[in-house]
Structure 1
Amino acid sequence: MTKKIGVVIVAAGSGNRFGDPIPKQYHTLGGKTLLGHCIECFARHTSPELVQVVYNPAHQNWYDGAIAALGADITTLPAPIGGGVTRQQSVLNGLRALSARKPDIVLIHDAARPGISDDVITRVIKALETHAGAIPTLPVADTIKQTSRDGVITKTIPRDTLQRAQTPQGFVFETILAAHEQFEGQEFTDDAALLEELGLDVMCVEGTSANDKITKRDDFDRAHDWIDSTNKDNASMQQEEYRAGTGFDVHRFAPGDHCILCGVKVPHTARLDGHSDADVGLHTLTDAILGAIGAGDIGQHFPPSDMQWKGAASDIFLKHAADLVRKRGGRIVNVDLTLICERPKIGPHTKAMREKVAEILEIDVNRVNVKATTTERLGFPGREEGIAAQAAASIALPIG
């Protein structure tokens, strides 16, 4: 009898060690997020309706973008379930969500392992015919030293019996659900450890180096190598196309004591006049991003005739543009802004401006550039009547 295969993909982490505002599972490789690669691979082995993603509800926009990039093939994917404080609680939440679909076996996988292959999944499923649990592993190549707390070697551990554990870890569904419920609130390093605690055998099958976990930025180099080799073998794999957009805006000065520029309060002898907070920098960046995805301009999305935007903070507008990119499965590659004025002096504030824009767009600050220039006292900026700004944005979108 064919076994019904359930899948739990754990994608609730914040990825703090990765060092980027975007959690690593939502970074893109070959036109899909790390999470997207995992979903597609497991959906080839079971029905999408049996693939349960566990996520952080605060990441909803990133999740929506990741799913949008996958197309119509995964329309029956169940709604994601919120994770817990620990990975173990997140897995339990996913198992409970799957229980109504009554799978016979379940594969539990970390979304930070996009290099999972069909062969590895098949080996895990095959091992479950005779064991309560099975996990992919790789032999340890390095010599392992046990040390005291102060770093002195106390023992060399024979490596011929050591294995590095990977995911997906597969189990008889009722067995692993019962184990997680029994040990709820306790901490184990992985799911197989729960069965080990119960005295149940867990079988090791051959893993692959491509399936190693992405933890830090350097790991992305390895992931790109994997995706490059995959693309050579699969010409139909979805690719990205790059779009560019530009923006230009002007705001006149009015009586006041500071300007809001790129979300930063800059002391000055005047303020900028406008329907919102008149942040000429963020308005220009918003138009550049909207232009790159063919979504009109800021006035179409936030009409100045609409009083709800009176005095509004312009980060609302820029965040909206970034959300539209993510909903289309895309990502912001970089933005570049030039502020044009005689005064106030922009240079002392560019660091804070870049950091604020990166925070709003939820991208790395190295993908944001802010600079300034004058018009050599020519025109309205030269007469200190206002500030102009121009911007460019580069966006990557999935093809098809």
Structure 2
Amino acid sequence: MEPVSAAVSAVLPAGGSGERLGGATPKQFCGLQGRPLVSYAVRAMERVSWISDIIVVVSPENIETMKSIVEKYGHKRVTVVKGGITRHRSIFNGLKVFAENQSSNRLLQKPEVVIIHDAVRPFVEEDILLKVVTAAKEHGAAGAIRPLVSTVIASGEDGCLDHSLERARYRASEMPQAFLFDVIYEAYQQCTDHDLDYGTECLHLALKYCKTNAKLVEGTADLWKVTYKRDLYAAESIIKDNLSQQICIITDLKEAVAQVGFLLHESLKSQVKVEAISISLRKNDSHLQNIFSGECYNFLCINDKEYATEEIQQLVDMLEKSNIPLLYPVILILVHLSISENISFSIGLEELTKIKKFAREVKKKNILVYGLLIQCKDHFSLQETVNSAAALTMALIKDRNPELIGQLLVA
């Protein structure tokens, strides 16, 4: 991304009650893959290095909840601010932190450009943020738009159709939006109570009170807002799909184990990005450290032991130190390998109990452990068994079902 030659901060209104979602928990605090929705939006901003400060505005009763989320997930550059009774009043409170130094945590520098983005739009990417910020710096205000999906109609007093709008001429206003800070802050200062209580569109305020015509930027399809319960399911599906794009296959240096690792790599590579490494798990391998410092959330560890206790514990320790499981649940599939004319490899009740107990313990660290048995009589039937193992692997990483931890699946 090109560097942004302006001080940029973000305000995330997160004070809604989530009435349309139903249920007692406001939608911004609903869990997706064990992590609240608002944390995803914060993380999206946090990953952009040129955003200096992130202001999250929540209702007074949720201040401590939001602070605990910031602490639990290690969010940086975040200030939690008390919101108002409406969306506009909450955004205004967020802007005041810069203009009136109301933050009790630290002195925040007033930005040249401020991004406003809903805390329940979790999938915003850096490129669209850059586009609206660049446009706002030039025009004073900018916002993402999307084509209308449905035609907008108006009804008369009798409840019958009065007229419809020509859909091609109109667009849906989305987030993110960006403004020169002085423009949007001046607009909010001039707002009437009616604006603050009933208005929803920030771009309109900039036009109404500062005569600033916003530049409209074509947004992407993933800017949608979580509004209804079905949207939560859709968001979780997208998150699972994103987490399933890469897998790391870890084998030791034994020939048979490395061969299975290679065959799994070949079987999986058409469906997912695969990183395969052969190492001695008993050593602190720098290659493995590099893998853990990336953003891979799926690991396949192949061994020919009934239960490689020390090696598996080392993997878990390295994962925990990497902080990878902090944001998303990590999948760790333990592949037990047995290739012999006389199939004698078996895992007894004691070992199965040990695996289940271990899986329950590491689940607390957001690591989901599954077992997978590859067992065949000869090398000729190995490829077919490996293909079955690859299918089971893809099912596990796509479903990410915490109820199946500690189970031993047979390929």
Provide the TM-score with structure 1 as the length reference.
0.57
The AA in structure 2 aligned to 1:212 is W
8 Å CA contact 1:25–1:112 kept in 2: the answer is: yes
**Which position in structure 2 is the counterpart of 1:35?**
38
Paired residue for 1:240?
A: 329
Partner of 2:5: 2
Matching residue of 1:89: 89
Structure 1 partner of 2:70: 67
For the structure 1 residues 48 and 158, does the alpha-carbon distance in structure 2 shift closer, same or farther, using more than 3 Å as the test? closer
Select 1:185's aligned residue among 193, 199, 203.
193
**1:156 matches 2:161:** no
Residue in 1 that maps onto 2:22: 19
- Structure 2: runs of 5 or more not aligned: 100-107, 246-294, 298-323, 332-359, 367-402, 406-411
Task: Give me the whole-angstrom Cα distance separating, in 2, the residues matched to 1:139 and 1:226.
Answer: 21
What one-letter code is carried by the residue in structure 1 that aligns with 2:202?
D
Question: Counterpart of 1:77?
Answer: 78
Contact 2:13 2:118 in 1 (8 A): yes
Q: Would you tell me which structure has more helix in proportion to its own residues?
A: 2
Q: CA deviation at 1:129?
A: 3.2
Q: Is 1:225 the counterpart of 2:228 in the alignment?
A: no
Look up the SS of the partner of 1:50 in the other structure. Answer: strand
CA shift digits 1:149-180 (9 cap, x unpaired): 33211112111111111112100001100100
String of CA shifts for 1:290-340, please: whole Å, max 9, x gaps. xx999xxxxxxxxxxxxxxxxxxxxxxxxxxxxxx9xx99xxxxxxxxxxx
Quote how far apart the aligned CAs of 1:196 are: 2.2
* The one of 108, 115, 118 aligned to 2:123: 115
Indicate conservation of the 8 Å contact 2:70/2:78, yes or no: no
What is the CA deviation profile of residues 16-51 of structure 1, one whole-angstrom value per residue up to 9, with x for unaligned ones? 221121111111223432111111111223467511
Question: In the alignment, which residue of structure 2 is the partner of 1:257?
Answer: none
Amino acid at match of 1:206: E
Judged with a 3 Å threshold, the aligned counterparts in structure 2 of structure 1 residues 48 and 104 are, in CA distance, closer, same or farther, namely: closer
Over aligned residue pairs, what C-alpha RMSD do you find? 2.9
Whether the 8 Å contact between 1:11 and 1:110 is mirrored in structure 2 is yes
> Is the CA contact (8 Å cut-off) linking 1:8 and 1:52 kept in structure 2?
yes
Aligned to 1:214: 226
Counterpart secondary structure, 1:85: coil
Residue 214 of structure 1 and its aligned partner are, at CA, apart by 0.9
Higher relative contact order (CA 8 A, sep 6+): 1
State how far apart, in whole Å, the 1-side matches of 2:208 and 2:190 are.
Answer: 11
Cα offset, 1:15, TM superposition: 1.2
* Local SS of the residue matching 2:229: coil
> How far apart in 2 are the matches of 1:26 and 1:48?
23
Q: Contact 2:151–2:167 (CA<8 Å) still a contact in 1?
A: yes
Counterpart of 1:55?
58
How many matched pairs? 249
- Give 1:387's aligned residue: none
What does residue 339 of structure 1 align with? none
Give distance in 2, aligned partners of 1:293 and 1:76.
32
CA contact (8 A) 2:8 2:115 kept: yes
- Tell me how far 1:210 sits from its aligned partner: 1.9
Per-residue deviation at 1:125? 1.4
Q: TM-score, normalised by structure 2?
A: 0.55
